[in-house]
Amino acid sequence: MINKVDKIESAIQDVYPDEFAWCYGCGRLNKDGLQFRTGWAGEQTITVYTPRPEHTAIPGFVYGGLIASLIDCHGTGSAALALHEKNGNRIGDGTDAPKFVTASLKTEFLKPTPHGVPLRAVGTLEEIHPKKWKVDVEVFAEDVLCAKGEVVAVLMPKSFLSK
Amino acid sequence: MINKVDKIESAIQDVYPDEFAWCYGCGRLNKDGLQFRTGWAGEQTITVYTPRPEHTAIPGFVYGGLIASLIDCHGTGSAALALHEKNGNRIGDGTDAPKFVTASLKTEFLKPTPHGVPLRAVGTLEEIHPKKWKVDVEVFAEDVLCAKGEVVAVLMPKSFLSK
């Protein structure tokens, strides 16, 4: 269902620890990145992003890889929001957010996505394991559902950095 | 299976018609884009790409959305290579390549992908309909299989531009 939120007040990416804030998609410290920001919208989650001029598939339509990227970071951000809340924390209470990695990402392109308007990724969460969440994502351009995705996000293993 | 080709001599993107050469992932006319190039490697297809410094997930590892983008364009490019050849054409014979769009894209992240080395997307093609191809993609960083993907690519409908 479409969700008309168009500004994220409190984003989970605002409270990722600095060492995990370099993601090209959603890292607040990655100045050349896309800087997606993900917050709650009722019981769903939302990321709003307006593609850059160069993010075209063909002129007038958005590049599918950008949509997949939006779904990816929206999925891990949504999982982090959910676990942060489950842990009894809130954005801004001084605690760092947990960080998830993507195990799998599916994107189904339903319609050509018009370029030049904000895209809204809306997520519906399901905890499938204490360290694993499934996030169903719908991507809207204005009122039109253009893509659907599914992200399986896994809490980042402590071994990740040593691999 | 890993394929050691590291330079694409003849890429299908070189012969996309100008109006379809603006893809952020693989359009030769999109100067701010990634400019993926896809060619034959025996009976498989290959795209080689070295991520930019900013394409990080966390420092030292490649952003998953970039890997999904690589798989996406590698899939549509591979399908275009296959149909171009099936049509009796060759890159450089003066004919334009057909252009595919992505119906669905799946990416499975198997291992953290090291940043700073070329990535090789290797595709295996299956024609599932005269206008639809499935491309199984493996992404290697040096010798290590880091991600797998599946793209269903559909010949771009003539109605696409009028939607």
Q: What are the residues whose beta carbons fall under 8 Å from the beta carbon of B129, sequence distance 6 or more? A: none
Q: Do A54 and B23 touch (CB under 8 A)?
A: no
Strands (E), chain A: 38-41, 44-49, 100-109, 119-129, 132-141, 144-155
Confidence of residue A7 (pLDDT cuts 50, 70, 90): confident
Instruction: State residue A117's pLDDT score.
Output: 97
Q: What is the pTM of this model?
A: 0.96
What is the identity of the amino acid at B3? Answer: N
Distance CA A150, CA B46 (A): 27
Q: What count of other Cβ atoms lies within 10 Å of the Cβ of residue B104?
A: 19
pLDDT surpassing 60 at residue A163: no
Instruction: State residue B3's pLDDT score.
Output: 63
- The whole-angstrom distance between B6's CA and the closest CA on chain A is 23
Confidence of residue A6 (pLDDT cuts 50, 70, 90): confident
Strands B132-141 and A144-155: unpaired
pLDDT average, residue stretch B92-111 = 97
Distance CA A88, CA A26 (A): 23
Confidence of residue B163 (pLDDT cuts 50, 70, 90): very low
pLDDT average, residue stretch B55-75 = 98
Using a CB-CB distance cutoff of 8 angstroms, which residues of chain A are in contact with residue B72? 64-65, 68
Q: Identify residues of A whose CB sits under 8 angstroms from chain B CBs.
A: 19-20, 22-25, 27, 30-33, 52, 54-59, 63-66, 68-70, 72-73, 101-109, 111-112, 160-161, 163
Distance CA B64, CA B69 (A): 9
Instruction: State residue B161's pLDDT score.
Output: 61
Using a CB-CB distance cutoff of 8 angstroms, which residues of chain B are in contact with residue A27? 56
What is the identity of the amino acid at B122? Answer: V
Mutate to test the interface with A, among B13, B29, B49, B54 (most CBs of A within 10 A): B54
Distance CA B84, CA B96 (A): 9
Does residue B98 contact residue B111 with C-beta atoms inside 8 Å? no
| pLDDT tens readout for residues A44-78 | 999 999 999 999 999 999 999 999 999 999 999 99
Mutate to test the interface with A, among B47, B55, B58, B73 (most CBs of A within 10 A): B58
The residue ranges of every structural domain in chain A are 12-161
Instruction: State residue B80's pLDDT score.
Output: 98
Q: What is the ipTM of this complex?
A: 0.95
Q: Which CATH class is domain A12-161?
A: alpha beta
